[in-house]
């Protein structure tokens, strides 16, 4: 049986893979494990529970709340808010646990459960493993030890969460956004109310698209994975920039005034330079994954900023940031973490800080993003191969060395085994797209031949 917890909580098709019974059981297990770990010692435990607008979130939230309350945990229901809002409120309210129901950028039928520890930080892997172990033990029939009488948890609506979070976002901005026109694509998701409100309070003129969630339309042809609507709206309204979120608003991509995409690497570049200028870029370092574009690395070198690379996944970026004491990190996909103001990727905060940089400098976003040249990048997935041998095959190692020699300083090769499927990802960057494609195809053929 596979591990329930992935890199971002428990996910699956709601009411098929992820059922109400599972949501309830995992919540009770989490309460027991945290009590066992001493998290609740000496006080009555409190949890913050939020969700994105998916229809399935309604019954899954009810199951989570029931599970926590039945285990003696008081629950503050914050309703539909972004994942980073739940993380923030967990810390700001001194709660012992945060729970978010969302499947992020996944399609509507999916949903997920993500737990946050006290302070709004990701639950440690060993605690997730223990929660899963305890859940499985009780799912097979072992009865729970349950409180009765006044020992059961109480459930309250915490309607102030929206205002508290928006005030936090606006309060940490280095400058206002007066004079900017911004289009916001809310992905019909958790940021549909939050992001427009935050930008408006910060002084921007706001135009919105995909900000009318109905429980079914989340991520449907909109948001950070479908930028065409945002591009068109920015051009149509003559806006200075556009910001697109995903379903739970932990990421942000942007488009400039001409409707051209500004990806996570470019956003990191703009923020890194701004933070360096104001002394907020701790240790003069930015953290990114091995998939960040070579153009980003070259730009940071040119600007005198150190770059630390991690494995793919925002959790690895966050771990490295905490370990090294860094203040900025992120991924090409738009997960950007500003650790002084957030404990996780926050798409609304990222968009606000990007817009604040445009306002502060008086320069167009296209010009600011032009600090890095995005080199052509070709990615080929090679299926049905033995991914475990990608680093030990002499043929593959030789082919990679030859490709790296051919590309020189203006190119890069990355072979990465998939963490979930029997395939190897071949990524090649080069100054010229045709060269990148030719080298990638040659390497993919070699991987198929050597490891197939």
Query: Which residues are annotated as part of the binding site?
Result: 104, 246, 248, 250
* Tokens found for residue 259: 């409707």
Residues 6+ apart with CB under 8 A from 68: 27, 28, 30, 31, 47, 49, 75, 97, 99, 153
The answer to whether 388 is a known catalytic residue is: no
Q: How far is the CA of 210 from the CAs of 47, 91, 121, 241, in angstroms? A: 30, 30, 29, 16
User: What is the rounded CA–CA span in Å between residue 67 and residue 441?
Assistant: 51
| Active-site position among 27, 56, 102, 104 | 104
If DSSP codes are grouped into helix, strand and coil, which group holds residue 381? Answer: strand
Q: Which helix (H) or strand (E) holds 366?
A: helix 365-369
* Tokens found for residue 377: 């990048």
Q: How far is the CA of 157 from the CAs of 47, 130, 434, in angstroms? A: 12, 29, 57
Q: How far is the CA of 349 from the CAs of 56, 245, 377, 402, in angstroms? A: 27, 11, 28, 43
* DSSP character string of 101-129: E--TTS-TTEEEEEEEETTSPBPPHHHHH
Query: Which residues are annotated as part of the binding site for Mg(2+)?
Result: 104, 246, 248, 250
Q: How far is the CA of 263 from the CAs of 5, 34, 79, 174, 232, in angstroms? A: 28, 38, 30, 22, 17
* Number of Cβ within a 10 Å radius of residue 401: 11
- In contact, 271 and 338? CB cutoff 8 Å: yes
By annotation, the residues acting in catalysis are: 104
């Amino acid at each position: 049986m596979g591990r329930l917890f992935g890199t971002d909580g428990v996910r699956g098709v709601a009411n098929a893979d992820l059922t109400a019974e599972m949501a309830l059981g995992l919540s009770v297990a989490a309460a027991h494990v945290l009590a066992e770990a001493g998290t609740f010692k000496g006080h009555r435990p409190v949890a913050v529970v939020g969700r994105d607008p998916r229809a399935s979130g309604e019954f899954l939230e009810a199951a989570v709340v029931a599970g926590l309350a039945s285990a003696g945990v008081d629950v503050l229901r914050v309703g539909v808010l972004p994942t980073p809002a739940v993380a923030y409120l967990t810390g700001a309210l001194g709660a012992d646990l945060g729970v978010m129901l969302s499947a992020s950028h996944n399609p509507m039928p999916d949903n997920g459960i993500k737990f946050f520890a006290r302070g709004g930080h990701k639950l440690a892997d060993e605690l997730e493993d223990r929660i899963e172990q305890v859940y499985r033990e009780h799912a097979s029939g072992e009865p729970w030890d349950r409180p009765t009488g006044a020992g059961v948890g109480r459930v309250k609506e915490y309607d102030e969460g929206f205002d508290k979070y928006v005030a936090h976002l606006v309060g940490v901005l280095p400058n206002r956004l007066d004079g900017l026109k911004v289009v916001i694509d809310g992905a019909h998701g958790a940021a549909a109310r939050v992001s427009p409100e935050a930008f408006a309070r910060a002084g921007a003129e706001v135009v919105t698209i995909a900000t009318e969630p109905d429980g079914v339309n989340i991520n449907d042809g909109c948001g950070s994975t479908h930028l065409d609507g945002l591009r068109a709206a920015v051009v149509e309204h003559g806006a200075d920039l556009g910001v697109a979120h995903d379903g739970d608003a932990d990421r942000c991509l942007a488009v400039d005034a001409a409707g051209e995409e500004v990806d996570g690497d470019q956003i990191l570049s703009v923020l890194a330079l701004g933070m360096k200028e104001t002394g907020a870029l701790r240790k003069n370092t930015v953290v990114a994954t091995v998939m960040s574009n070579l153009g980003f690395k070259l730009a940071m070198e040119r600007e005198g900023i150190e770059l630390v690379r991690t494995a793919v996944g925002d959790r690895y970026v966050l771990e490295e940031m905490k370990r090294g004491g860094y203040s900025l990190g992120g991924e090409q996909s738009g997960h950007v973490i500003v650790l002084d103001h957030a404990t996780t990727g926050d798409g609304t905060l990222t968009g606000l800080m990007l817009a604040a940089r445009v306002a502060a400098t008086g320069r167009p976003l296209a010009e600011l993003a032009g600090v890095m040249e995005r080199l052509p990048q070709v990615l080929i997935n090679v299926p049905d191969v033995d991914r475990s041998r990608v680093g030990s095959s002499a043929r593959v190692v030789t082919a990679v060395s030859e490709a790296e020699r051919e590309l020189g300083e203006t190119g890069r090769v990355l072979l990465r085994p998939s963490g979930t499927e029997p395939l190897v990802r071949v990524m090649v960057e080069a100054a010229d797209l045709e060269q990148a494609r030719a080298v990638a195809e040659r390497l993919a053929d070699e991987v198929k031949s050597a490891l197939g």
